[in-house]
Chains A and B, each alone.
Chain A
Amino acid sequence: MSEQPIIRVRDLRKIYRVGEVEVHALRGVNLDVPRGEFLCVAGPSGSGKSTLFHILGGLLAPTSGTVLVDGHDLSRLSDSQRTALRRRMVGFVFQKFNLLPNLTAADNIAIARHIAGRSLDDDPWFRQVLDLLGIADRLHHKPSKLSGGEQQRVAIARAIVNHPAILLADEPTGNLDSQNSAAVLSILRDLNERLGQTILLITHDPVVASYAHRVVRMLDGRIVEGGS
Protein backbone atom coordinates (compact mmCIF):
# COMPACT_ATOMS: atom_id res chain seq x y z
CA MET A 1 0.00 0.00 0.00
CA SER A 2 1.44 3.37 -1.04
CA GLU A 3 2.15 6.06 1.56
CA GLN A 4 -0.66 8.53 2.28
CA PRO A 5 0.04 11.93 0.61
CA ILE A 6 1.01 14.68 3.02
CA ILE A 7 -1.49 16.99 1.32
CA ARG A 8 -4.80 15.72 0.01
CA VAL A 9 -7.32 18.19 -1.36
CA ARG A 10 -10.73 17.12 -2.59
CA ASP A 11 -13.36 19.30 -4.25
CA LEU A 12 -12.04 22.39 -2.52
CA ARG A 13 -14.14 25.48 -3.01
CA LYS A 14 -13.73 28.98 -1.71
CA ILE A 15 -16.25 31.73 -2.21
CA TYR A 16 -15.50 35.30 -1.13
CA ARG A 17 -18.36 37.69 -0.62
CA VAL A 18 -17.49 41.19 -1.79
CA GLY A 19 -20.52 43.31 -0.92
CA GLU A 20 -23.43 41.66 -2.70
CA VAL A 21 -21.17 39.82 -5.13
CA GLU A 22 -19.89 36.28 -4.66
CA VAL A 23 -16.41 35.63 -6.00
CA HIS A 24 -15.59 31.98 -6.64
CA ALA A 25 -11.85 31.84 -5.98
CA LEU A 26 -11.61 28.03 -5.98
CA ARG A 27 -14.07 25.91 -7.94
CA GLY A 28 -13.44 22.32 -6.94
CA VAL A 29 -9.69 21.77 -6.61
CA ASN A 30 -8.33 18.23 -6.25
CA LEU A 31 -4.66 17.73 -5.41
CA ASP A 32 -2.41 15.11 -3.83
CA VAL A 33 1.14 15.98 -2.75
CA PRO A 34 3.32 13.04 -1.67
CA ARG A 35 5.61 13.52 1.33
CA GLY A 36 8.98 14.94 0.23
CA GLU A 37 7.75 16.38 -3.07
CA PHE A 38 8.82 19.80 -4.36
CA LEU A 39 5.66 20.99 -6.07
CA CYS A 40 5.14 24.20 -7.98
CA VAL A 41 1.70 25.76 -8.40
CA ALA A 42 1.76 28.08 -11.38
CA GLY A 43 -0.88 30.27 -12.88
CA PRO A 44 -1.77 33.84 -13.75
CA SER A 45 -3.06 36.39 -11.25
CA GLY A 46 -6.60 35.58 -10.12
CA SER A 47 -6.21 31.89 -10.87
CA GLY A 48 -6.72 30.98 -7.21
CA LYS A 49 -3.20 29.88 -6.35
CA SER A 50 -2.81 32.36 -3.46
CA THR A 51 -6.19 31.29 -2.04
CA LEU A 52 -5.04 27.67 -2.22
CA PHE A 53 -1.78 28.69 -0.52
CA HIS A 54 -3.67 30.43 2.30
CA ILE A 55 -6.04 27.51 2.84
CA LEU A 56 -3.22 24.95 2.89
CA GLY A 57 -1.35 27.16 5.33
CA GLY A 58 -4.31 27.37 7.69
CA LEU A 59 -4.65 31.12 7.20
CA LEU A 60 -8.05 30.81 5.58
CA ALA A 61 -11.00 28.48 6.08
CA PRO A 62 -12.40 26.74 2.98
CA THR A 63 -16.03 27.18 2.01
CA SER A 64 -16.39 23.48 1.25
CA GLY A 65 -14.37 20.42 0.39
CA THR A 66 -11.72 18.46 2.18
CA VAL A 67 -8.15 19.57 2.93
CA LEU A 68 -5.96 17.05 4.70
CA VAL A 69 -2.47 18.15 5.76
CA ASP A 70 -0.51 15.33 7.36
CA GLY A 71 -3.81 13.72 8.28
CA HIS A 72 -5.44 16.83 9.78
CA ASP A 73 -8.63 17.99 8.11
CA LEU A 74 -8.31 21.76 7.90
CA SER A 75 -11.92 22.19 6.84
CA ARG A 76 -13.03 21.03 10.29
CA LEU A 77 -10.68 23.16 12.33
CA SER A 78 -11.64 26.24 14.31
CA ASP A 79 -9.60 29.47 14.12
CA SER A 80 -7.60 28.58 17.21
CA GLN A 81 -6.96 25.05 15.93
CA ARG A 82 -5.73 26.45 12.62
CA THR A 83 -3.48 28.83 14.57
CA ALA A 84 -2.03 25.87 16.46
CA LEU A 85 -1.56 24.00 13.20
CA ARG A 86 0.44 26.91 11.72
CA ARG A 87 2.75 26.75 14.73
CA ARG A 88 3.68 23.11 14.23
CA MET A 89 2.99 21.96 10.73
CA VAL A 90 3.37 24.82 8.28
CA GLY A 91 6.26 27.08 7.37
CA PHE A 92 5.73 30.17 5.24
CA VAL A 93 8.10 31.98 2.91
CA PHE A 94 6.66 35.17 1.44
CA GLN A 95 7.58 37.29 -1.54
CA LYS A 96 8.25 40.29 0.70
CA PHE A 97 10.29 38.25 3.21
CA ASN A 98 8.05 39.50 6.07
CA LEU A 99 10.73 39.61 8.72
CA LEU A 100 10.05 41.58 11.89
CA PRO A 101 12.06 44.75 11.28
CA ASN A 102 12.88 45.43 14.94
CA LEU A 103 14.46 42.04 15.58
CA THR A 104 17.79 40.64 14.46
CA ALA A 105 17.88 37.73 12.04
CA ALA A 106 18.56 35.38 14.95
CA ASP A 107 15.59 36.72 16.89
CA ASN A 108 13.35 36.52 13.83
CA ILE A 109 14.11 32.82 13.72
CA ALA A 110 13.94 32.39 17.48
CA ILE A 111 10.51 33.98 17.75
CA ALA A 112 9.00 31.32 15.48
CA ARG A 113 10.48 28.75 17.82
CA HIS A 114 9.18 30.66 20.83
CA ILE A 115 5.67 30.87 19.42
CA ALA A 116 5.76 27.11 18.97
CA GLY A 117 6.81 26.77 22.61
CA ARG A 118 10.30 25.52 21.84
CA SER A 119 13.82 26.74 22.47
CA LEU A 120 16.62 27.05 19.92
CA ASP A 121 19.23 25.82 22.38
CA ASP A 122 21.10 22.66 21.52
CA ASP A 123 19.54 21.97 18.16
CA PRO A 124 22.32 20.54 15.93
CA TRP A 125 19.86 20.16 13.11
CA PHE A 126 19.31 23.87 13.09
CA ARG A 127 23.07 24.59 12.97
CA GLN A 128 23.15 22.37 9.90
CA VAL A 129 20.32 24.40 8.34
CA LEU A 130 22.11 27.68 9.04
CA ASP A 131 25.24 26.33 7.34
CA LEU A 132 23.14 25.21 4.42
CA LEU A 133 21.56 28.67 4.16
CA GLY A 134 24.90 30.45 4.53
CA ILE A 135 23.63 33.03 7.04
CA ALA A 136 25.43 31.91 10.21
CA ASP A 137 27.57 35.07 10.20
CA ARG A 138 24.61 37.42 9.50
CA LEU A 139 22.39 36.36 12.38
CA HIS A 140 22.99 39.40 14.56
CA HIS A 141 21.97 41.92 11.95
CA LYS A 142 18.54 43.46 11.65
CA PRO A 143 16.67 42.99 8.33
CA SER A 144 17.48 46.53 7.21
CA LYS A 145 21.17 45.59 7.23
CA LEU A 146 20.65 42.48 5.12
CA SER A 147 20.38 42.13 1.36
CA GLY A 148 17.16 40.80 -0.17
CA GLY A 149 18.73 37.40 -0.70
CA GLU A 150 19.96 37.26 2.90
CA GLN A 151 16.53 38.31 4.19
CA GLN A 152 14.86 35.58 2.21
CA ARG A 153 17.32 33.01 3.53
CA VAL A 154 16.52 34.15 7.07
CA ALA A 155 12.83 33.81 6.21
CA ILE A 156 13.46 30.26 4.99
CA ALA A 157 15.32 29.44 8.21
CA ARG A 158 12.39 30.82 10.21
CA ALA A 159 9.94 28.79 8.12
CA ILE A 160 11.65 25.45 8.76
CA VAL A 161 12.88 26.00 12.32
CA ASN A 162 9.93 24.11 13.76
CA HIS A 163 10.34 21.13 11.37
CA PRO A 164 7.04 21.79 9.56
CA ALA A 165 5.32 19.07 7.59
CA ILE A 166 5.05 21.43 4.62
CA LEU A 167 6.89 24.54 3.52
CA LEU A 168 4.71 26.98 1.58
CA ALA A 169 6.57 29.53 -0.50
CA ASP A 170 4.61 32.30 -2.22
CA GLU A 171 6.65 33.87 -5.04
CA PRO A 172 9.81 33.60 -2.90
CA THR A 173 12.00 35.12 -5.61
CA GLY A 174 9.58 37.86 -6.64
CA ASN A 175 11.64 40.59 -4.98
CA LEU A 176 15.09 39.23 -5.80
CA ASP A 177 17.51 39.70 -8.66
CA SER A 178 18.34 36.69 -10.82
CA GLN A 179 21.48 35.79 -8.89
CA ASN A 180 19.77 35.83 -5.50
CA SER A 181 16.74 34.10 -7.02
CA ALA A 182 18.90 31.24 -8.19
CA ALA A 183 20.57 31.02 -4.78
CA VAL A 184 17.24 30.92 -2.93
CA LEU A 185 15.79 28.33 -5.29
CA SER A 186 18.90 26.19 -4.94
CA ILE A 187 18.50 26.36 -1.17
CA LEU A 188 14.88 25.27 -1.43
CA ARG A 189 15.88 22.38 -3.67
CA ASP A 190 18.66 21.42 -1.23
CA LEU A 191 16.22 21.49 1.68
CA ASN A 192 13.95 19.23 -0.28
CA GLU A 193 16.68 16.83 -1.42
CA ARG A 194 18.88 16.73 1.67
CA LEU A 195 16.32 17.10 4.44
CA GLY A 196 13.27 15.66 2.66
CA GLN A 197 11.26 18.84 3.24
CA THR A 198 7.94 18.90 1.38
CA ILE A 199 7.72 22.21 -0.47
CA LEU A 200 4.81 23.81 -2.25
CA LEU A 201 5.91 26.83 -4.23
CA ILE A 202 3.68 29.34 -5.97
CA THR A 203 4.95 31.25 -8.97
CA HIS A 204 4.09 32.44 -12.39
CA ASP A 205 7.74 32.35 -13.50
CA PRO A 206 8.58 29.28 -15.64
CA VAL A 207 12.26 29.49 -14.63
CA VAL A 208 11.30 29.22 -10.97
CA ALA A 209 8.87 26.43 -11.77
CA SER A 210 11.65 24.45 -13.41
CA TYR A 211 13.24 23.80 -9.98
CA ALA A 212 10.23 21.75 -8.85
CA HIS A 213 9.61 18.02 -9.32
CA ARG A 214 6.14 18.69 -10.62
CA VAL A 215 4.21 21.73 -11.79
CA VAL A 216 0.45 22.09 -11.53
CA ARG A 217 -1.22 24.93 -13.38
CA MET A 218 -4.27 26.77 -12.17
CA LEU A 219 -6.76 28.86 -14.08
CA ASP A 220 -10.01 30.41 -12.91
CA GLY A 221 -10.02 28.55 -9.62
CA ARG A 222 -9.30 25.12 -11.04
CA ILE A 223 -6.22 22.96 -11.62
CA VAL A 224 -6.01 22.59 -15.36
CA GLU A 225 -2.73 20.74 -15.71
CA GLY A 226 -0.56 18.42 -13.60
CA GLY A 227 -3.13 17.75 -10.85
CA SER A 228 -3.97 14.36 -9.41
Chain B
Amino acid sequence: MINRLVLENLKHRPVRTALSILAIGIEVTMMLTLVGLSRGMLADVARRARGVGADIVVRPPGTSLIGLSSAPMSEKMVDFLRRQPHVTHAVGSMTHPLSGVTTITGVNLKEFDEISGGFKYLEGRPIRQRDEILVDNFYARQNNLRAGSTVHLLNRDWRVAGVVEEGKLARLVIPLDVLQDLTANPGKISQVWVKVDDPANVPKVIASLKRQLPNYPIYSMEELTSLISVNNVPGLRAFITVIIVLAIVVGFLVVFLSMYTAVLERTREIGILKALGASPLYILDILFRETALLALAGTVLGIVFSYGTRWIIMSWAPASLTQVVVPDWWGIAGAIALGGALLGASYPGWRAARQDPIEALAYE
Protein backbone atom coordinates (compact mmCIF):
# COMPACT_ATOMS: atom_id res chain seq x y z
CA MET B 1 0.00 0.00 0.00
CA ILE B 2 2.79 2.41 0.95
CA ASN B 3 4.65 1.52 -2.23
CA ARG B 4 1.61 2.43 -4.31
CA LEU B 5 1.34 5.77 -2.51
CA VAL B 6 5.07 6.34 -3.04
CA LEU B 7 4.80 5.58 -6.76
CA GLU B 8 1.73 7.77 -7.17
CA ASN B 9 3.45 10.62 -5.31
CA LEU B 10 6.46 10.38 -7.62
CA LYS B 11 4.24 10.20 -10.70
CA HIS B 12 2.25 13.20 -9.50
CA ARG B 13 5.25 15.53 -10.03
CA PRO B 14 7.05 14.00 -12.99
CA VAL B 15 9.35 16.95 -13.65
CA ARG B 16 10.52 17.17 -10.06
CA THR B 17 10.96 13.41 -9.95
CA ALA B 18 12.88 13.41 -13.23
CA LEU B 19 15.13 16.26 -12.10
CA SER B 20 15.89 14.51 -8.79
CA ILE B 21 16.72 11.28 -10.60
CA LEU B 22 18.85 13.20 -13.09
CA ALA B 23 20.77 14.96 -10.30
CA ILE B 24 21.42 11.70 -8.48
CA GLY B 25 22.31 10.14 -11.84
CA ILE B 26 24.89 12.86 -12.45
CA GLU B 27 26.24 12.34 -8.93
CA VAL B 28 26.68 8.61 -9.62
CA THR B 29 28.12 9.32 -13.09
CA MET B 30 30.69 11.65 -11.56
CA MET B 31 31.81 8.96 -9.16
CA LEU B 32 31.89 6.15 -11.71
CA THR B 33 33.59 8.28 -14.35
CA LEU B 34 36.23 9.53 -11.96
CA VAL B 35 37.02 6.09 -10.59
CA GLY B 36 36.85 4.62 -14.11
CA LEU B 37 39.20 7.31 -15.42
CA SER B 38 41.67 6.83 -12.56
CA ARG B 39 41.74 3.10 -12.99
CA GLY B 40 41.71 3.27 -16.78
CA MET B 41 44.59 5.66 -17.00
CA LEU B 42 46.65 3.79 -14.45
CA ALA B 43 45.92 0.52 -16.22
CA ASP B 44 46.99 2.19 -19.44
CA VAL B 45 50.28 3.30 -17.88
CA ALA B 46 50.87 -0.20 -16.55
CA ARG B 47 49.96 -1.83 -19.88
CA ARG B 48 52.30 0.41 -21.82
CA ALA B 49 55.11 -0.17 -19.31
CA ARG B 50 54.62 -3.93 -19.76
CA GLY B 51 54.61 -3.39 -23.51
CA VAL B 52 58.25 -2.36 -23.39
CA GLY B 53 59.18 -6.00 -22.76
CA ALA B 54 61.65 -5.26 -19.95
CA ASP B 55 61.94 -7.25 -16.72
CA ILE B 56 63.11 -4.46 -14.42
CA VAL B 57 62.73 -0.70 -14.33
CA VAL B 58 65.14 1.64 -12.53
CA ARG B 59 63.88 5.11 -11.71
CA PRO B 60 65.71 8.12 -10.31
CA PRO B 61 65.82 8.63 -6.54
CA GLY B 62 62.84 10.43 -5.05
CA THR B 63 60.51 9.98 -8.01
CA SER B 64 57.00 8.59 -7.89
CA LEU B 65 55.77 5.61 -9.86
CA ILE B 66 54.07 7.52 -12.61
CA GLY B 67 55.75 10.89 -12.26
CA LEU B 68 55.70 13.11 -15.30
CA SER B 69 59.00 14.85 -14.45
CA SER B 70 61.41 14.70 -17.31
CA ALA B 71 64.99 13.65 -16.74
CA PRO B 72 66.70 13.68 -13.38
CA MET B 73 68.98 10.65 -13.95
CA SER B 74 72.31 10.44 -15.79
CA GLU B 75 72.43 8.47 -19.02
CA LYS B 76 75.59 6.81 -17.71
CA MET B 77 73.31 4.66 -15.60
CA VAL B 78 72.39 2.69 -18.75
CA ASP B 79 76.01 1.58 -19.26
CA PHE B 80 76.35 0.76 -15.58
CA LEU B 81 73.27 -1.47 -15.74
CA ARG B 82 74.39 -3.18 -18.93
CA ARG B 83 77.55 -4.30 -17.15
CA GLN B 84 75.63 -6.11 -14.41
CA PRO B 85 75.55 -9.93 -14.38
CA HIS B 86 72.55 -11.51 -16.17
CA VAL B 87 71.55 -8.18 -17.79
CA THR B 88 71.19 -8.58 -21.54
CA HIS B 89 69.67 -5.21 -22.44
CA ALA B 90 69.32 -1.82 -20.80
CA VAL B 91 67.54 1.07 -22.52
CA GLY B 92 67.20 4.55 -21.15
CA SER B 93 64.13 6.60 -21.99
CA MET B 94 63.08 10.10 -21.22
CA THR B 95 59.49 11.10 -20.54
CA HIS B 96 58.53 14.71 -21.01
CA PRO B 97 55.12 16.17 -20.23
CA LEU B 98 53.35 18.05 -23.02
CA SER B 99 49.84 19.19 -22.18
CA GLY B 100 47.41 17.73 -19.68
CA VAL B 101 48.30 14.10 -19.19
CA THR B 102 49.93 13.72 -22.61
CA THR B 103 53.64 12.89 -22.59
CA ILE B 104 56.29 12.31 -25.21
CA THR B 105 58.99 9.68 -24.89
CA GLY B 106 62.53 9.98 -26.13
CA VAL B 107 64.26 6.67 -26.67
CA ASN B 108 67.08 5.19 -28.69
CA LEU B 109 64.91 3.38 -31.21
CA LYS B 110 67.51 0.80 -32.21
CA GLU B 111 68.09 -0.22 -28.60
CA PHE B 112 64.37 -0.12 -27.92
CA ASP B 113 63.69 -2.44 -30.85
CA GLU B 114 66.14 -4.92 -29.38
CA ILE B 115 64.48 -5.05 -25.98
CA SER B 116 60.86 -4.82 -27.09
CA GLY B 117 60.80 -6.39 -30.51
CA GLY B 118 60.07 -2.99 -31.99
CA PHE B 119 56.93 -1.07 -32.80
CA LYS B 120 54.24 -2.48 -35.04
CA TYR B 121 53.83 0.03 -37.85
CA LEU B 122 50.24 0.53 -38.98
CA GLU B 123 51.33 3.21 -41.43
CA GLY B 124 54.63 4.69 -42.57
CA ARG B 125 58.10 3.68 -41.44
CA PRO B 126 60.65 4.19 -38.62
CA ILE B 127 62.19 7.58 -37.88
CA ARG B 128 65.06 8.57 -40.16
CA GLN B 129 65.34 12.32 -39.60
CA ARG B 130 65.65 14.42 -36.47
CA ASP B 131 62.38 16.21 -37.22
CA GLU B 132 60.35 13.04 -37.47
CA ILE B 133 58.03 11.55 -34.87
CA LEU B 134 56.11 8.33 -34.26
CA VAL B 135 52.52 8.56 -33.03
CA ASP B 136 50.33 5.72 -31.87
CA ASN B 137 46.99 4.94 -33.49
CA PHE B 138 44.94 6.55 -30.67
CA TYR B 139 46.84 9.83 -30.92
CA ALA B 140 46.63 9.70 -34.71
CA ARG B 141 42.85 9.16 -34.58
CA GLN B 142 42.29 11.90 -32.01
CA ASN B 143 44.38 14.40 -33.98
CA ASN B 144 43.55 13.28 -37.52
CA LEU B 145 47.15 12.38 -38.29
CA ARG B 146 48.54 9.97 -40.86
CA ALA B 147 52.02 9.06 -41.93
CA GLY B 148 53.41 12.14 -43.65
CA SER B 149 51.22 14.60 -41.70
CA THR B 150 52.73 17.50 -39.83
CA VAL B 151 52.17 18.01 -36.12
CA HIS B 152 53.26 21.00 -34.03
CA LEU B 153 54.76 20.04 -30.66
CA LEU B 154 57.44 21.50 -28.40
CA ASN B 155 57.40 24.72 -30.44
CA ARG B 156 58.30 23.05 -33.72
CA ASP B 157 56.76 21.12 -36.57
CA TRP B 158 57.25 17.38 -36.81
CA ARG B 159 56.65 15.09 -39.70
CA VAL B 160 54.82 11.92 -38.73
CA ALA B 161 57.11 9.17 -39.94
CA GLY B 162 54.85 6.35 -38.85
CA VAL B 163 51.68 5.46 -37.00
CA VAL B 164 52.36 2.59 -34.61
CA GLU B 165 50.11 0.29 -32.64
CA GLU B 166 49.54 1.70 -29.15
CA GLY B 167 50.76 -0.10 -26.07
CA LYS B 168 54.46 0.76 -25.79
CA LEU B 169 55.97 3.83 -24.07
CA ALA B 170 54.08 7.11 -24.58
CA ARG B 171 51.77 7.89 -27.48
CA LEU B 172 54.44 10.12 -29.03
CA VAL B 173 57.99 8.90 -29.55
CA ILE B 174 61.09 10.70 -30.86
CA PRO B 175 64.80 9.88 -30.64
CA LEU B 176 66.24 10.31 -27.15
CA ASP B 177 68.99 12.76 -28.12
CA VAL B 178 66.48 15.01 -29.92
CA LEU B 179 64.26 15.23 -26.85
CA GLN B 180 67.27 15.79 -24.58
CA ASP B 181 68.41 18.69 -26.79
CA LEU B 182 64.96 20.23 -27.05
CA THR B 183 64.39 20.16 -23.31
CA ALA B 184 67.94 21.18 -22.42
CA ASN B 185 68.60 17.90 -20.64
CA PRO B 186 71.69 16.55 -22.43
CA GLY B 187 72.76 13.19 -21.07
CA LYS B 188 69.71 12.85 -18.83
CA ILE B 189 66.98 10.20 -18.78
CA SER B 190 63.83 9.42 -16.78
CA GLN B 191 64.17 5.66 -16.34
CA VAL B 192 66.10 2.64 -17.52
CA TRP B 193 64.36 -0.49 -18.81
CA VAL B 194 66.38 -3.61 -18.06
CA LYS B 195 66.04 -7.10 -19.53
CA VAL B 196 67.75 -10.10 -17.96
CA ASP B 197 68.79 -13.40 -19.46
CA ASP B 198 66.27 -15.49 -17.54
CA PRO B 199 63.13 -14.33 -15.70
CA ALA B 200 64.22 -16.55 -12.81
CA ASN B 201 67.18 -14.23 -12.30
CA VAL B 202 65.08 -11.09 -11.88
CA PRO B 203 64.98 -11.21 -8.03
CA LYS B 204 68.71 -11.83 -7.89
CA VAL B 205 69.47 -8.89 -10.21
CA ILE B 206 67.09 -6.60 -8.31
CA ALA B 207 68.69 -7.53 -5.00
CA SER B 208 72.11 -6.82 -6.38
CA LEU B 209 71.02 -3.47 -7.85
CA LYS B 210 69.35 -2.40 -4.63
CA ARG B 211 72.59 -3.04 -2.78
CA GLN B 212 74.57 -0.94 -5.24
CA LEU B 213 71.93 1.77 -5.77
CA PRO B 214 70.29 2.07 -2.35
CA ASN B 215 68.31 5.27 -3.08
CA TYR B 216 66.95 4.25 -6.45
CA PRO B 217 63.42 2.86 -6.82
CA ILE B 218 63.96 -0.47 -8.58
CA TYR B 219 60.99 -2.62 -9.52
CA SER B 220 60.31 -5.82 -11.36
CA MET B 221 57.64 -5.26 -13.99
CA GLU B 222 55.15 -7.34 -11.98
CA GLU B 223 55.86 -5.19 -8.95
CA LEU B 224 55.64 -1.99 -10.95
CA THR B 225 52.32 -2.82 -12.55
CA SER B 226 50.88 -3.99 -9.24
CA LEU B 227 52.01 -0.78 -7.56
CA ILE B 228 50.37 1.39 -10.19
CA SER B 229 47.10 1.85 -8.35
CA VAL B 230 44.98 4.66 -7.00
CA ASN B 231 46.51 4.26 -3.55
CA ASN B 232 50.07 4.67 -4.78
CA VAL B 233 49.62 7.81 -6.81
CA PRO B 234 50.23 10.79 -4.54
CA GLY B 235 47.08 12.87 -4.07
CA LEU B 236 44.86 10.77 -6.34
CA ARG B 237 42.94 9.11 -3.51
CA ALA B 238 42.40 12.51 -1.88
CA PHE B 239 41.31 13.98 -5.21
CA ILE B 240 38.81 11.19 -5.76
CA THR B 241 37.50 11.63 -2.21
CA VAL B 242 37.03 15.37 -2.72
CA ILE B 243 35.10 14.84 -5.96
CA ILE B 244 32.96 12.14 -4.38
CA VAL B 245 32.19 14.40 -1.42
CA LEU B 246 31.23 17.16 -3.86
CA ALA B 247 29.00 14.71 -5.72
CA ILE B 248 27.36 13.69 -2.44
CA VAL B 249 26.77 17.34 -1.53
CA VAL B 250 25.10 17.94 -4.90
CA GLY B 251 22.88 14.86 -4.46
CA PHE B 252 22.13 15.81 -0.87
CA LEU B 253 21.10 19.36 -1.78
CA VAL B 254 18.92 18.30 -4.69
CA VAL B 255 17.10 15.64 -2.65
CA PHE B 256 16.84 18.02 0.30
CA LEU B 257 15.18 20.69 -1.84
CA SER B 258 13.03 18.18 -3.66
CA MET B 259 11.77 16.53 -0.47
CA TYR B 260 11.43 19.84 1.34
CA THR B 261 9.20 21.09 -1.46
CA ALA B 262 7.31 17.81 -1.49
CA VAL B 263 6.68 17.97 2.25
CA LEU B 264 5.46 21.57 2.03
CA GLU B 265 3.25 20.71 -0.90
CA ARG B 266 1.85 17.66 0.84
CA THR B 267 1.26 19.29 4.22
CA ARG B 268 -2.44 18.64 4.01
CA GLU B 269 -1.96 15.04 2.90
CA ILE B 270 0.40 14.44 5.78
CA GLY B 271 -2.30 15.87 8.06
CA ILE B 272 -4.82 13.45 6.58
CA LEU B 273 -2.52 10.49 7.18
CA LYS B 274 -1.89 11.62 10.73
CA ALA B 275 -5.62 12.05 11.34
CA LEU B 276 -6.05 8.47 10.14
CA GLY B 277 -3.57 7.39 12.81
CA ALA B 278 -0.31 7.29 10.86
CA SER B 279 2.63 7.43 13.24
CA PRO B 280 5.65 9.71 12.63
CA LEU B 281 7.54 6.57 11.59
CA TYR B 282 4.88 5.78 8.98
CA ILE B 283 5.27 9.27 7.48
CA LEU B 284 9.07 8.94 7.52
CA ASP B 285 8.76 5.53 5.90
CA ILE B 286 6.84 7.02 2.97
CA LEU B 287 9.37 9.79 2.41
CA PHE B 288 12.37 7.51 2.80
CA ARG B 289 10.91 5.00 0.37
CA GLU B 290 10.38 7.81 -2.14
CA THR B 291 13.95 8.92 -1.61
CA ALA B 292 15.30 5.39 -1.92
CA LEU B 293 13.40 4.93 -5.16
CA LEU B 294 14.84 8.19 -6.50
CA ALA B 295 18.33 7.07 -5.47
CA LEU B 296 17.85 3.66 -7.08
CA ALA B 297 16.61 5.15 -10.35
CA GLY B 298 19.39 7.75 -10.21
CA THR B 299 21.98 5.02 -9.69
CA VAL B 300 20.73 3.06 -12.70
CA LEU B 301 20.77 6.26 -14.74
CA GLY B 302 24.27 7.07 -13.48
CA ILE B 303 25.54 3.63 -14.52
CA VAL B 304 24.06 4.11 -18.00
CA PHE B 305 25.56 7.61 -18.15
CA SER B 306 28.98 6.24 -17.16
CA TYR B 307 28.90 4.12 -20.32
CA GLY B 308 28.02 7.33 -22.13
CA THR B 309 30.97 9.26 -20.70
CA ARG B 310 33.24 6.34 -21.57
CA TRP B 311 31.93 6.37 -25.13
CA ILE B 312 32.43 10.13 -25.37
CA ILE B 313 35.96 9.92 -23.97
CA MET B 314 36.94 7.01 -26.18
CA SER B 315 35.43 8.75 -29.20
CA TRP B 316 36.82 12.21 -28.64
CA ALA B 317 39.97 11.86 -26.57
CA PRO B 318 41.20 8.26 -26.71
CA ALA B 319 44.82 9.37 -26.61
CA SER B 320 44.42 11.69 -23.64
CA LEU B 321 42.05 9.82 -21.33
CA THR B 322 41.17 6.20 -20.74
CA GLN B 323 38.07 5.23 -18.83
CA VAL B 324 37.14 1.72 -17.83
CA VAL B 325 33.77 0.47 -16.64
CA VAL B 326 33.90 -0.25 -12.91
CA PRO B 327 31.08 -2.66 -12.00
CA ASP B 328 32.55 -3.18 -8.53
CA TRP B 329 31.84 0.49 -7.89
CA TRP B 330 28.17 0.38 -8.97
CA GLY B 331 27.07 -0.80 -5.55
CA ILE B 332 29.40 1.60 -3.76
CA ALA B 333 28.26 4.59 -5.82
CA GLY B 334 24.63 3.51 -5.33
CA ALA B 335 25.12 3.21 -1.58
CA ILE B 336 26.82 6.61 -1.43
CA ALA B 337 24.02 8.18 -3.49
CA LEU B 338 21.41 6.52 -1.29
CA GLY B 339 23.16 7.67 1.88
CA GLY B 340 23.39 11.26 0.61
CA ALA B 341 19.77 11.20 -0.55
CA LEU B 342 18.47 9.80 2.75
CA LEU B 343 20.50 12.42 4.57
CA GLY B 344 18.91 15.04 2.31
CA ALA B 345 15.44 13.67 3.09
CA SER B 346 16.06 13.53 6.85
CA TYR B 347 15.19 17.11 7.74
CA PRO B 348 12.11 17.32 5.48
CA GLY B 349 11.09 13.92 6.84
CA TRP B 350 11.56 15.05 10.41
CA ARG B 351 9.45 18.15 9.70
CA ALA B 352 6.73 16.04 8.12
CA ALA B 353 6.77 13.50 10.94
CA ARG B 354 6.30 16.10 13.66
CA GLN B 355 3.70 18.10 11.79
CA ASP B 356 0.64 18.95 13.86
CA PRO B 357 -2.34 17.20 12.20
CA ILE B 358 -4.80 20.00 12.93
CA GLU B 359 -2.53 22.68 11.46
CA ALA B 360 -1.74 20.40 8.53
CA LEU B 361 -5.42 19.78 7.81
CA ALA B 362 -6.08 23.53 7.88
CA TYR B 363 -3.22 24.12 5.37
CA GLU B 364 -4.40 25.54 2.04
Contact = CB atoms under 8 A, between A and B. Distances in A.
A83 B274 CA distance: 7
A111 B269 contact: no
A87 B1 contact: no
Contact of B275 (A57, A80, A107, A114): A57
B268 A103 contact: no
Interface string B265-289: 0001101111111110010000000
Nearest to A108: B272
B31 to A, nearest CB: 33
Interface stretch (A67-75, A93-101, A175-183): A93-101
Interface string B1-16: 1101100110110000
B272 A107 contact: no
A54 B358 contact: yes
Contact of A98 (B1, B8, B268, B278): B268
A57 B273 CA distance: 14
A110 interface: yes
B251 interface: no
B8 A115 contact: no
Interface string A50-91: 000010010110000000000000000000100111111000
B89 to A, nearest CB: 74
Nearest to A82: B277
A2 interface: no
Contact of A102 (B12, B358, B361): B12
B272 to A, nearest CB: 5
A107 B276 CA distance: 13
Contacts of A92: 275-276
Given A60-B358, A98-B272, A100-B272, A83 B5 contact: no
A102 B2 CA distance: 12
Most chain B Cβ neighbours within 10 Å, of A83, A85, A107: A83
Contacts of B8: 102-103, 107
Most chain A Cβ neighbours within 10 Å, of B5, B12, B277: B277
Contacts of A115: 273, 276-278, 282
Contacts of B1: 107, 110-111, 114
Contacts of A110: 1
Given A98-B272, A111-B5, A87 B361 contact: no
B53 interface: no
Contacts of A80: 279
Interface in A146-160: 158
Contacts of B361: 94, 98
Main secondary structure of the interface of B (DSSP, over half): helix
A16 to B, nearest CB: 11
Interface in B1-38: 1-2, 4-5, 8-9, 11-12
Contacts of B11: 102
Contacts of B106: none
Contacts of A139: none
Given A115-B277, A116-B277, A59 B357 contact: yes
Contacts of A212: none
Nearest to A170: B361
A31 B215 CA distance: 95
A99 B272 CA distance: 8
Interface string A35-60: 00000000000000000001001011
B338 to A, nearest CB: 24
B269 A100 contact: yes
Interface string A124-168: 000000000000000000000000000000000010000000000
Interface of B: 1-2, 4-5, 8-9, 11-12, 268-269, 271-279, 282, 357-358, 361
26 contacts: A57-B275, A59-B357, A60-B358, A83-B277, A83-B278, A88-B277, A92-B275, A92-B276, A98-B268, A98-B271, A98-B275, A100-B5, A100-B269, A100-B273, A101-B12, A101-B269, A102-B5, A102-B8, A102-B9, A102-B11, A103-B4, A103-B8, A107-B1, A107-B4, A111-B273, A116-B277
10 tightest A-B CB contacts, nearest first: A87-B277, A102-B8, A86-B277, A114-B1, A98-B272, A102-B12, A112-B276, A115-B278, A115-B277, A115-B276
Interface of A: 54, 57, 59-60, 80, 83-88, 92, 94, 98-103, 107, 110-112, 114-116, 158
